[in-house]
Amino acid sequence: MFSEINQMLRASVPIFVAAVARIAVPATAFARTVYDGDWGVLILRRGGACEPAVRCGVQITDGMVIYGGGMATVQGHANRRGSVQVMVRSGNRWANGSGRLGRNRGGGAWWGQGTSGACHGTWVAERRE
């Protein structure tokens, strides 16, 4: 499943590079958090028929996770306590992730569904300077 999402993301720009496109901010905007900034993320598969590992970059602005792509919709947020939730969708394929961030590092789990079946794994993130 992540292989499919990875291909979709690579089709528009190199994987998850935070560039121009932004997710629409809901009516209730999040306040600036200590987690705002650029983050590098490593997504690891632990089960299912997915890509074994994917590296990507995201940006957190006012607590919202921002991805500059085009083939997939990415929505997510980090709250003031560091709890993170992200949703990636493309057609009938999807992946959800959750976890916790510290000031410079974080991690969690993800699960999803692709055309080849279900997948799951873990992710780790590190703040970029």
What confidence tens digit (pLDDT) does each residue in 85-117 have?
999 888 888 899 999 999 999 999 999 987 788
Q: Which domains does the chain have, with CATH numbers?
A: 2-127 (2.40.128.120)
pLDDT at 125 over 70: yes
Amino acid occupying residue 122: T
pLDDT at position 53 is 86
Please give the backbone phi and psi of residue 5, each rounded to the nearest 5 degrees, phi first: -65, -40
CB atoms inside a 10 Å sphere around CB 5:
29
Q: What is the pTM of this model?
A: 0.73
Q: What is the pLDDT of residues 39-50, one digit of tens each?
A: 999 999 899 987
Mean pLDDT over each residue of the chain, to the nearest integer: 79
Do 58 and 39 touch, CB atoms closer than 8 A? Answer: yes
* H or E element in which residue 32 lies: none
Task: In whole angstroms, give the CA distance from residue 43 to residue 34.
Answer: 23
